[in-house]
C-alpha cells in the first residue's frame, strides 16, 4: 500500500514536471518570439505607441528606452543565447537608438532644416558655421545607415538647391573639411548620386584657398573663398586634419590637386615631429601654431584633447585608409612614437581614485594637469583600432583603463552624463566644467573596444549612456539638448551636428552586427564618416 502510494506520488510528480517542462518551453518560445516581433516594430510605431501610453512602464517612466530594456531583460533571462548569435539580443537597443535619431531629426527638420544647427527648446536654429547646411550634410550617411531613405532624399534635394560656401562670414576650414566634405564623400560612397560628388568637389575647391599660406599649412578660417588678412594662428588639429578627406576627394574625382595640397601641409607637421624625435625631444607636437611669413612656429603646450586630438588620429587612419602599404610605414611608426610619448608624458594614475587619465602638459615640465577632457576620450578607441604588433597588449591595456575612466565620468554624475572635462583631486573625480555637450568620444571608444574585444561590457556601458541621454537630455517637446550642468541637470538649448553624425551613429553601430560598416573595409574620419579602405598597392 505504502509502495503503491509512493509510486503514485512519483507518477504524479513526473507528470507535473513534464507538464511544467512543456509549459515553460512553450512560454520561453512564446516570449522569445514576441521579443523578436518587437525588434521588428517600426520606430515610428514604437514611438507613437509609447506616446499613446501603450508602452507605459512599471517604473512609470515615459521613456521608450525603458520599455525596450524591460523586454530585453525578459528575453535574456529566459533564453540565454548561444555565444555566436548573441548579437540578435541587442536588436531592441538598436531600434531604440534609431528612434532617438528619428526624433532628433524630426526636431531639426521642423525648426531648422538647412540651418547649421538646431536649438530644440526655443525651437529656433543657429548658423554656428556661417550658414553652410552643416546638420543636413553631417547627417547624410546616418540617414542612409538607419534606412531613412525619404529623409535622405529630402536632404539631397536641399543640397542640390541650396548648398553653397559663398558666405560673407569667416568659415572654419577644419569644420568644413570634417563635417561637410567628409559627410558628402561618405554619402556619395554609399549612394553614388552625382550631386553629392559635385557638392564635395565644390567644397574641396573652396578649401584649396586655405593652403595659400607661406608654409602651405591651411589657414584656420576663410571668408568668401579668400584667406583672411589675420590668418596667422591655427592649431595642430585644425592644420593636421585634412589629408584623409582630400585623399578621398582626389580618388573619386581623379584630380590630384586636393590630395597634393593637403599632403604638402601634413608633411610640414610630420617633418617637425621627426625633427623633434631625432633631437631626443618628446614625440608630440604642441597644439598652438603660428603661421609666420617664412616659417611656422610652435608653442609649448601639449594636449591629446582640444586642439591636438585628430592630428594623432589621422596619423593612424591615413595608414589604414591607404591599405597599410609599406610605403606608408612611416605614418604607422610615427603614430606609435606619439602613442608611446603620450603614455610616458601625459598618462597619469590618480592615487586617490586609482583611475588613469590623460592630462595636458608642457614640453619641458614634468607634471601634467589633473584634468581630462571629454575630447581626449577618443584615445581608447584609437588605441583599440591601432593596437597591432609588439605593442598590442600595452595599447589595449591602456585603452581599457582609459575607457573605464571615461565611463566613470558619466556614471559618477547625478545625471549619468559626463561633464566636458573631469578633474581628479582629493580622492575623487569631479566635474571640472559643468556642461555636457552630447559629444561622441566615449561611445566612439566603446564602439571600437566592442569591435576589438567582443566583450559585452562595452555594449552594456553604451546602453547606460543611451538611457542617460534619454533620461537627462531629452526635451519634453522632442529632441535632445546639451546640459548646462551635469549635477543639477539644468538644460542648455542646443543639438550639435555631431550628435547626428557621430554620437547616435556609434551608438547605433555598437548594437548592430559587426558586418555593418566592418572595420576591415572602412575607416571613419574624425566626424564618423566612413570611407572605404583602399587596396594596398
Q: Which residues are at the interface with ligand DMJ (CB under 6 A)?
A: 309-310, 375, 439-440, 498, 526-527
Residue number with CB closer to ligand DMJ (395 or 498): 498
Phi, psi dihedrals of residue 348, rounded to the nearest 5°: -130, 140
CB count in 10 Å sphere of residue 161: 9
From the list 265, 268, 263, 311, the residue with the least C-alpha distance to 287 is: 311
Question: Grid coordinates 595599447 are at which residue?
Answer: 395
CB of 81 to ligand DMJ, least distance (A): 34
Q: What is the CA radius of gyration of the chain?
A: 25
Rounded to the nearest 10°, the torsion over CA 51, 54, 57, 58 is 150
Measured on CA atoms in the order 376, 377, 382, 383, is the torsion positive or negative?
A: positive
Return the DSSP state at 255. Answer: -
Find out whether 332 and 389 touch, Cβ atoms under 8 Å. no
Residue number with CB closer to ligand DMJ (131 or 310): 310
Q: What is the 3-state secondary structure (H, E, C) of 376-425?
A: HHHHHHHHHHHCCHHHHHHHHHHHHHHHHHHHHHHHCCCCCCCCCEEEEE
Question: Grid coordinates 515553460 are at which residue?
Answer: 24
| 3-state class (DSSP) for residue 72 | helix
Does the annotation mark 441 as catalytic? yes
Residue number with CB closer to ligand DMJ (405 or 445): 445
CB of 501 to ligand DMJ, least distance (A): 8
Pick the catalytic residue from 441, 444, 502, 527. 441
Pick the catalytic residue from 245, 248, 309, 350. 309
Residue number with CB closer to ligand DMJ (87 or 310): 310
- What is the Cα–Cα distance from 403 to 211, expressed in whole angstroms? 36
CB of 461 to ligand DMJ, least distance (A): 18
From the list 170, 163, 150, 151, the residue with the least C-alpha distance to 210 is: 170
Pick the catalytic residue from 175, 238, 350, 444. 175
Residue number with CB closer to ligand DMJ (310 or 473): 310
CB of 375 to ligand DMJ, least distance (A): 6
Pick the catalytic residue from 179, 435, 439, 459. 179
Q: How far is CA 398 from the centre of its chain?
A: 19
Residue number with CB closer to ligand DMJ (450 or 524): 524
- In this structure, the chain runs to a length of 537
Find out whether 511 and 462 touch, Cβ atoms under 8 Å. yes
CB of 44 to ligand DMJ, least distance (A): 29
Residue number with CB closer to ligand DMJ (332 or 529): 529
CB of 178 to ligand DMJ, least distance (A): 6
Residue number with CB closer to ligand DMJ (117 or 527): 527
Q: How far is CA 38 from the centre of its chain?
A: 27
CB count in 10 Å sphere of residue 457: 15
- What is the Cα–Cα distance from 182 to 175, expressed in whole angstroms? 10
Residue number with CB closer to ligand DMJ (68 or 468): 468
Q: How far is CA 370 from the centre of its chain?
A: 25
- What is the Cα–Cα distance from 23 to 10, expressed in whole angstroms? 20
Find out whether 121 and 477 touch, Cβ atoms under 8 Å. yes
CB of 175 to ligand DMJ, least distance (A): 7
From the list 216, 182, 371, the residue with the least C-alpha distance to 289 is: 216
CB of 530 to ligand DMJ, least distance (A): 14
CB of 303 to ligand DMJ, least distance (A): 12
Question: Grid coordinates 550628435 are at which residue?
Answer: 499
Does the annotation mark 154 as catalytic? no
CB count in 10 Å sphere of residue 366: 7
**∠ CA 38-461-525, rounded to 5°:** 95
CB of 437 to ligand DMJ, least distance (A): 7
- What is the Cα–Cα distance from 361 to 378, expressed in whole angstroms? 18
Residue number with CB closer to ligand DMJ (38 or 338): 338
User: Regarding beta strands 296-298 and 288-291, do their DSSP bridges make them parallel or antiparallel, or are they unpaired?
Assistant: antiparallel
Active-site annotation, residues: 175, 179, 309, 441
Amino acid at each position: 500500500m505504502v509502495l503503491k502510494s509512493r509510486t503514485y506520488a512519483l507518477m504524479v510528480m513526473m507528470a507535473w514536471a513534464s507538464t511544467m517542462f512543456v509549459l515553460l518551453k512553450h512560454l520561453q518560445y512564446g516570449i522569445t518570439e514576441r521579443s523578436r516581433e518587437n525588434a521588428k516594430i517600426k520606430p515610428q510605431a514604437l514611438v507613437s505607441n509609447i506616446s499613446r501610453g501603450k508602452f507605459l512602464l512599471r517604473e512609470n517612466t515615459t521613456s521608450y528606452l525603458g520599455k525596450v530594456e524591460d523586454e530585453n531583460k525578459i528575453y535574456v533571462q529566459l533564453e540565454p543565447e548561444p555565444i555566436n548569435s548573441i548579437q540578435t539580443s541587442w536588436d531592441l537597443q538598436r531600434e531604440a537608438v534609431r528612434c532617438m535619431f528619428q526624433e532628433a531629426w524630426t526636431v531639426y527638420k521642423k525648426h531648422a532644416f538647412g540651418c547649421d544647427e538646431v536649438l530644440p527648446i526655443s525651437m529656433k536654429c543657429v548658423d554656428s558655421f556661417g550658414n553652410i547646411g552643416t546638420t543636413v550634410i553631417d547627417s547624410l550617411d546616418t540617414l542612409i545607415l538607419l534606412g531613412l531613405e525619404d529623409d535622405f532624399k529630402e536632404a539631397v534635394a536641399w543640397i542640390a538647391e541650396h548648398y553653397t560656401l559663398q558666405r560673407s562670414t569667416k568659415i572654419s576650414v577644419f569644420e568644413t573639411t570634417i563635417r561637410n566634405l567628409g559627410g558628402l564623400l561618405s554619402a556619395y560612397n554609399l549612394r553614388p548620386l552625382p550631386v553629392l560628388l559635385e557638392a564635395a568637389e565644390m567644397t574641396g575647391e573652396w578649401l584649396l584657398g586655405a593652403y595659400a599660406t607661406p608654409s602651405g599649412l591651411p589657414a584656420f578660417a576663410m571668408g568668401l573663398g579668400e584667406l583672411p588678412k589675420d590668418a596667422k594662428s591655427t592649431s595642430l588639429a585644425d592644420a593636421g586634419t585634412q589629408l584623409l578627406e582630400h585623399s578621398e576627394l582626389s580618388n573619386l574625382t581623379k584630380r590630384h590637386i586636393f590630395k597634393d595640397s593637403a599632403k604638402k601641409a601634413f608633411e610640414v607637421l610630420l617633418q617637425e615631429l621627426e625633427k623633434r624625435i631625432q633631437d631626443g625631444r618628446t614625440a608630440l607636437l604642441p597644439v598652438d601654431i603660428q603661421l609666420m611669413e617664412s616659417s611656422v612656429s610652435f608653442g609649448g603646450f601639449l594636449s591629446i584633447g582640444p586642439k591636438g586630438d585628430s592630428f594623432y588620429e589621422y596619423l593612424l587612419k591615413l595608414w589604414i585608409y591607404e591599405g597599410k602599404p609599406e610605403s606608408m610605414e612611416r605614418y604607422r611608426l610615427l603614430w606609435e612614437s606619439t602613442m608611446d610619448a603620450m603614455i610616458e608624458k601625459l598618462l597619469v594614475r590618480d592615487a586617490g581614485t586609482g583611475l588613469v587619465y590623460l592630462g595636458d602638459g608642457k614640453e619641458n615640465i614634468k607634471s601634467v594637469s589633473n584634468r581630462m577632457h571629454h575630447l581626449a576620450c577618443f584615445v581608447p578607441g584609437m588605441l583599440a583600432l591601432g593596437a597591432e604588433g609588439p605593442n598590442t597588449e600595452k595599447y589595449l591595456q591602456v585603452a581599457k583603463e582609459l575607457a573605464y575612466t571615461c565611463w566613470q565620468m558619466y556614471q559618477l554624475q547625478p545625471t549619468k552624463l559626463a561633464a566636458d572635462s573631469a578633474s581628479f583631486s582629493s580622492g575623487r573625480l569631479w566635474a571640472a566644467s559643468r556642461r555636457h555637450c552630447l559629444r561622441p568620444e566615449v561611445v566612439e571608444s566603446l564602439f571600437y573596444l566592442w569591435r576589438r574585444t567582443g566583450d559585452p561590457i562595452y555594449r552594456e556601458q553604451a546602453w547606460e549612456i543611451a538611457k542617460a541621454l534619454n533620461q537627462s537630455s531629452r526635451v519634453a517637446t522632442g529632441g535632445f539638448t546639451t546640459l548646462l550642468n551635469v549635477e543639477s541637470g539644468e538644460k542648455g538649448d542646443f543639438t550639435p551636428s555631431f550628435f547626428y553624425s557621430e554620437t547616435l551613429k556609434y551608438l547605433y553601430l555598437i548594437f548592430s552586427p559587426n558586418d555593418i560598416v566592418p572595420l576591415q573595409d572602412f575607416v571613419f574620419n574624425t566626424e564618423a564618416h566612413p570611407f572605404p579602405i583602399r587596396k594596398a598597392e
